[in-house]
Structure 1
Amino acid sequence: MSVSGMPYAPMSLHLLLAVSLCVALASSLPWAAASANGNGNGKPLVAAITKDAATSLYTVPIKDGRPLVLDLAGALVWTSCAAAHPTLECHHHFCMHAHSYHPPGCPHNGYGRADVEDPFRCKCTAHPYNPFSGESATADLTRTRLSANATDGKNPLYPVSFAAVTSCAPDSLLAKLPAGAVGVAGLARTRLALQAQVARSQKVANKFALCLPSGGGGDGVAIFGGGPLFLLPPGRPDVAATLAGETPLHRNKDLPGYFISATKIAVNQEQVQLYTQEPLVVELCTRIPYTALRPDVYRAVVDAFARATAGRKRVTPPPAAAAPFELCYDSRELGSTRLGYAVPQIDLVLEGGKNWTVFGGNSMAQVSDNTACLAVVKVKGEKGSPPPPAAIIGGFQMENNLVAKSKGKPLLLVVISFLAVLPWHTLASGGGGKPLVTAVTKDGATKLYTIAVKDGHPLALDLSGELVWSTCDASHSTVLPYERECVEANRYTPPSCWMQYGGAGGDYRYGNKCTAHPYNGVTGRCAPGDLTRTALAADATNGSNPLYPVTFPAVASCAPGSLLASLPAGAVGVAGLGRSDLALHAQVAATQNVAKKFALCLPSVAVFGGGPFVLIFPYSRPDIMQKLSYTALRRSPELAGGNGGGYYITAKSIEVNHHQVPLPNHGAPLVVQLSSMVPYTELRPDVYGPFVKAWDEILQWPKKVAPPVAPFELCYESRTIGSNRLGYAVPDININLEDGAAWYIFGGNSLVQVDDATACFAFVEMRPEKVGYGPAVVIGGHQMEHNLVVFDEEKQQLGFSGLLFGLQTTCSNFNFTVAA
């Protein structure tokens, strides 16, 4: 779609409009004395914003107390660095994210360069860009610490320091930034933007709010991670409660900034006649001080404002004072209201019918004691550059307004007339036969994977789980014992559980309520719980992006809070993905009319219902589904005498560096299970011993770490291991499957980085209590990461891509920006 000559795709984000005032929030906040070491306990973070008088740019002091310039279109956070700083390797997924947007005028010179301290290591380089000077550079991608304060939406609570991935930059790149600034804090729609990194590190919403100051002595405020938002004086309501409308937020395919669409412009409530009837693209920008209009729009708006103020005294101040403005007035004769100078209001009529109204407080700039000018300028087009948007809203027009953006609910509040909240999700009744997609999050403490499909709360993924289960409200509904879902829920008895079809429940006229037995695959414990009906939510997808939110009915089991033990913090239950009609993917298939299949691209994405599956990288954007190898899926009763509902395949042999490992199976098939509830691949002792011995005999050159880091047997000093595009340069592992395919394990999956200096062989010996009729090998989460794995129950086959590093991409490169 092209609007006014500028291509963009609409996102399912919205601006919500309200009447609210955002004044002096940060400057009057009492600072708390408490401190926190490294995290905000899930609370949003707040930082004061300062306006630099010389440059009219806005800064936040989050880098060792030194300021970074806020840039709504900035793809990276970048700063000057000390001579000694850590670096990231070229194959790291953050390196790929750092190259998701290439700044203008910057040469394409690859992802990295050789590390002078380690010739076998490729260190990642990024391209920090200074939009104010137009200069860019090539510099190391590094890890550093930033800091702000946790907040309850009213006050700062305590300081928080958090880790962030940033780009270094030479001091020469600081030209034209405010004095004392040490870099730029990019806030664009990228995974390395500041708000995205706060969201990941603090476990808060991917959203932020800006209330820019006017530079009159008070600070503004930046909030990262969500509301509530309370303004002074005390007693005012949460501003989110005053929402009154919405307009879509759009994205430009070439630029990472924020765009909305206007249908017309009015001055003094009379429509401005423009040469085009097409929608007008409007960008929000902190790089420029005043709103810039495309020449045809500028001429029409300025002429309309001049006609509407024909009776006001115009003045021609000295050029230095009035530049770059065309219309200036004797401010003593303008009059004033609580909204600023009493001048004609300017309305942007937004897509959806709501208005962004600009009153005198944001339309008139005081350029001298007695002179105020209409604060709009003409866009300066550059030869060879793409057509500019119709309007670029600059910092002055956003001052004393709350501006916010999020993956969940981005916000934008304009003084007295404008509060913009950009919700990612709105409820829909069904997916229209389209697959559903949801983000996957890996929990650092437990190494388990969760999806937030239950009222925004996470459920842990369990490839062997036959139920969806969670804690329930006391007033939950129940399923009757004779209903089909009750029979299905009790078809399989989890380990250590007692089976019953009904319990005492006299509330139901037709008999007792159905009891299910939710099972925690980590602790091996289960508990009785009511079978209930609930609603779950995800996004319809075309395989490349989310399209729109979808809620769908589901049957789930209630569970006591005690059953949540050993699950990730904040998880409210488990999303079973086993071979059951009540597993999550089966219920999606039934309600959305899609295939009974699902794909996991750990640690980032889950897709239910089929393909295609397209990532941001490589630039050719192939459908990864077309690059899969396949093997037959088996059920455990066929293979090992068990009765579980997980996914099993069979292997003929295992090779290390193309040498077959001598195993005790004497040519009999090896049962291999796939599990999301174990972090690292487990091998039965009679398989583990020969396997580890074969690896150790081949991998002789790296320096070992003694004693090794538990639970691993072999660990190495990572600086002594080379690297390539598939991870560490170590021997390949092949699991040769029954039908000729092979599951290849390269360095990116065979070793795990346990600390900055140590990498370990990421395989463990199966515990004795698991040995028996169980599988010979259980492939764990780490070995599935950055592989697209498709579980197709309709065709009874398992598809797998192999390590995506080989395609110069990762699972983290799914584009979660909502498409048109």
Structure 2
Amino acid sequence: MASVAQLLLPSILICFVAISFAQKEPFLPNSVILPVTKDLSRFQYVTQIYIGDQPQAPTKLVIDLSGSFSWMDSAFTSLSSASQHPINCFSLQCSMAKAATSCTSGNKTCTLQPENPITRIVTRGDLTEDIISVSVTDGIETGSLASISHFLFSSAPELLLKGLSNGVKGVLGLGNTRISLPSQVANTFGFQRKFSLCLSSSNGVLFSGQSPYMSLPHSEISKSLIQTPFVFRDGNKLKGYYISVKSIKINGKKMVINESSLLVNQEGVGGTKISTMVPYSTMESTLYHTFIEAYIKAAIALNMTMVSPVAPFGVCFSSEGVDTKRVGPNVPIIDLVLQSEMVKWRILGRNSMVQVSDKVMCLGFLDGGLNSKASFLIGGYQLEDNFLEFNLETSMLGFSSPLLMGETTCSNLRLQHMPRETRHYDF
């Protein structure tokens, strides 16, 4: 005969399981997480979202920090999703997109002007709404997809994809506007209007939402960032993200330049622009030549040997005999001095030198020409393995020291943070 304990055991287990489920906290995400992969053939950074209801179509998009809004190939989205629809003129969504001027010629549909950030071709596209799904985290749990039910983007003809990475279907805009991805994420989930980018030569990661983003190793990075304000023009936002670089030091020695050459661009405004759409940093010609003269002098002082330049680079060195450390080759250190001498963006060998062959490395800064729109543009290679936080509410950029100094990389952060299994939540 069974004992009383044996008879009661199933009931006890059922009660325990029921209590455990009852006590489980609801899943409340604090950040969106998107994978970022570098296309080494086009030097572009690509992420992926899912578009449509069921089935959801995986959609690759090129990341553009200056993009005022996202746009996608209309031929692809119309075939992949039956849940999308155009936005009417004079609607709240059209007003948010600041596209009301498109409604003056009897148009019934709100239209935008999507631009290819590589070719600079601009076309007409309808403002469109659809469901997209993105990976989210609550700071502990990963592996969940959440939907943004009313995501706004522009349709675009297939010809606008020219020059973009193979397989991509458009551009993900991260600009400081009301319909960029960070703003739409914030509106949907109630997050702060900020996002963080950690680019890599292989696999990086994009966060949009609260910080710290994960309670995992190295999550303290977001708590110890150096802060610098964005630059504005007459109280208005520029297209893209600009910071003020007051001076440049090479191996601790300040370059002799006119400070205004760093602060004024072709339009007479702005400063140093941060871009994901150019592979290497560029400088206006006069500034560039002063920069390379100072860099060559510092390199020769370290007994580095110049060699013939390899296109597209203007200055190259022999890598033989140059020590290589965790932070890259032992070459002159570049410091971008920001609002004060105490606030510096440091560029070490990993982000200043490009290894073009077994024996040759080149300085990863290019001549942007005399008519460069930005006097100084920080490109993708200089951003890699640096953690950058763009706070749209406080208009501040937070940036880390090179992550290699802390024995980690953006690829490591991606491995720690990206989902390994998927569940779906609707918010």
Is TM more than 0.5 here? yes
Cα separation, 1, equivalents of 2:323 and 2:250? 18
Displacement over 6 Å in runs of 4+: 502-505
Structure 1 residue corresponding to 2:247, chosen from 653, 656, 661 = 653
Cα separation, 2, equivalents of 1:459 and 1:504? 32
Distance 1:817 1:528, change over 3 A: closer
Q: How far is the alpha carbon of 1:519 from its aligned partner? A: 1.0
Cα separation, 2, equivalents of 1:803 and 1:583? 28
- Give the 3-state SS of the residue equivalent to 2:187 in structure 1: helix
Q: How far is the alpha carbon of 1:767 from its aligned partner? A: 3.4
Q: How far is the alpha carbon of 1:674 from its aligned partner? A: 0.6
Distance 1:802 1:467, change over 3 A: same
Aligned residues: 374
Structure 1 residue corresponding to 2:91, chosen from 479, 483, 507 = 483
Structure 2 residue corresponding to 1:755, chosen from 335, 345, 357 = 357
Alignment identity in percent? Answer: 30
Deviations 1:714-762 (A, max 9, x none): 1223333211221111111111111441111011111122334332100
Structure 2 residue corresponding to 1:609, chosen from 204, 209, 215 = 209
Deviations 1:375-424 (A, max 9, x none): xxxxxxxxxxxxxxxxxxxxxxxxxxxxxxxxxxxxxxxxxxxxxxxxxx
Distance 1:460 1:574, change over 3 A: same
Q: Write the mapping of 1:159-174 to structure 2, written as runs, cut at 5 A.
A: none
Q: How far is the alpha carbon of 1:587 from its aligned partner? A: 0.5
Matched, 1:786 2:385: yes
Q: Write the mapping of 1:31-46 to structure 2, written as runs, cut at 5 A.
A: none
Matched, 1:677 2:277: yes
Deviations 1:34-69 (A, max 9, x none): xxxxxxxxxxxxxxxxxxxxxxxxxxxxxxxxxxxx
The answer to which structure, 1 or 2, has the higher relative contact order (CA under 8 A, 6+ apart) is 2
Structure 2 residue corresponding to 1:714, chosen from 315, 319, 338 = 315
Q: Is the 8 A contact 2:286 2:370 kept in 1?
A: no
Q: Is the 8 A contact 1:652 1:667 kept in 2?
A: no
Cα separation, 2, equivalents of 1:738 and 1:784? 19
Q: Is the 8 A contact 1:431 1:550 kept in 2?
A: no
Question: TM-score scaled by structure 2?
Answer: 0.81
Deviations 1:245-302 (A, max 9, x none): xxxxxxxxxxxxxxxxxxxxxxxxxxxx99x979xxxxxxxxxxxxxxxxxxxxxxxx
Task: Structure 1: give runs of 5+ residues left out of the alignment.
Answer: 1-272, 279-429, 493-498, 506-511
Q: Write the mapping of 1:614-633 to structure 2, written as runs, cut at 5 A.
A: 621-633=218-230
Deviations 1:278-337 (A, max 9, x none): 9xxxxxxxxxxxxxxxxxxxxxxxxxxxxxxxxxxxxxxxxxxxxxxxxxxxxxxxxxxx
Aligned equivalent of 2:333: 732
- Give the 3-state SS of the residue equivalent to 1:456 in structure 2: strand
Q: Is the 8 A contact 1:433 1:593 kept in 2?
A: no
Cα separation, 2, equivalents of 1:712 and 1:545? 44
Q: Is the 8 A contact 1:464 1:647 kept in 2?
A: yes
Q: Give the AA of the match of 1:804.
A: L
Matched, 1:462 2:64: yes
Deviations 1:758-813 (A, max 9, x none): 321000111344x2xx3321111111100100000111110000210010000001
Aligned equivalent of 1:570: 167
Q: How far is the alpha carbon of 1:709 from its aligned partner? A: 1.6
Q: Give the AA of the match of 2:318.
A: E
Q: How far is the alpha carbon of 1:542 from its aligned partner? A: 3.9
Q: Write the mapping of 1:252-267 to structure 2, written as runs, cut at 5 A.
A: none
Distance 1:633 1:471, change over 3 A: same
Q: How far is the alpha carbon of 1:487 from its aligned partner? A: 2.7
Q: Give the AA of the match of 1:648.
A: Y
Q: Write the mapping of 1:138-153 to structure 2, written as runs, cut at 5 A.
A: none
Normalized per residue, the structure richer in helix is 2
Structure 2 residue corresponding to 1:590, chosen from 159, 168, 187 = 187
Q: Write the mapping of 1:318-397 to structure 2, written as runs, cut at 5 A.
A: none
Question: TM-score scaled by structure 1?
Answer: 0.43
Matched, 1:552 2:178: no
Aligned equivalent of 2:22: none
Cα separation, 2, equivalents of 1:668 and 1:781? 19
Q: How far is the alpha carbon of 1:633 from its aligned partner? A: 1.4
Cα separation, 2, equivalents of 1:715 and 1:435? 42
Cα separation, 2, equivalents of 1:465 and 1:607? 17
- Give the 3-state SS of the residue equivalent to 1:755 in structure 2: coil
Cα separation, 1, equivalents of 2:222 and 2:306? 39
Cα separation, 2, equivalents of 1:557 and 1:667? 36
Q: Is the 8 A contact 1:664 1:686 kept in 2?
A: no
Cα separation, 2, equivalents of 1:590 and 1:714? 47
- Give the 3-state SS of the residue equivalent to 2:320 in structure 1: helix
Cα separation, 2, equivalents of 1:760 and 1:669? 26
Farther-moved stretch of structure 1 (715-724 vs 451-460):
715-724
Q: Is the 8 A contact 1:464 1:644 kept in 2?
A: no
- Give the 3-state SS of the residue equivalent to 1:712 in structure 2: coil
Aligned equivalent of 1:14: none
Q: Give the AA of the match of 2:292.
A: V
Cα separation, 2, equivalents of 1:587 and 1:687? 38
Cα separation, 2, equivalents of 1:638 and 1:672? 17
Q: Is the 8 A contact 2:351 2:383 kept in 1?
A: yes
Structure 1 residue corresponding to 2:115, chosen from 486, 497, 519 = 519
Q: Is the 8 A contact 1:663 1:686 kept in 2?
A: no
Distance 1:794 1:431, change over 3 A: farther
- Give the 3-state SS of the residue equivalent to 2:85 in structure 1: coil
Q: Give the AA of the match of 1:450.
A: V
Cα separation, 1, equivalents of 2:375 and 2:90? 39
Q: How far is the alpha carbon of 1:623 from its aligned partner? A: 1.2
Structure 2 residue corresponding to 1:662, chosen from 256, 259, 281 = 256
Cα separation, 2, equivalents of 1:530 and 1:614? 37
Cα separation, 2, equivalents of 1:736 and 1:487? 39
Q: Is the 8 A contact 1:648 1:673 kept in 2?
A: yes
Aligned equivalent of 1:442: 38
- Give the 3-state SS of the residue equivalent to 1:719 in structure 2: coil
Distance 1:575 1:526, change over 3 A: same
Cα separation, 2, equivalents of 1:526 and 1:469? 12
Q: Is the 8 A contact 2:247 2:262 kept in 1?
A: no
Q: How far is the alpha carbon of 1:531 from its aligned partner? A: 0.7
Cα separation, 2, equivalents of 1:561 and 1:528? 12
Structure 1 residue corresponding to 2:324, chosen from 720, 723, 727 = 723
Higher Cα Rg, which structure: 1
- Give the 3-state SS of the residue equivalent to 2:186 in structure 1: helix
Cα separation, 1, equivalents of 2:321 and 2:163? 35
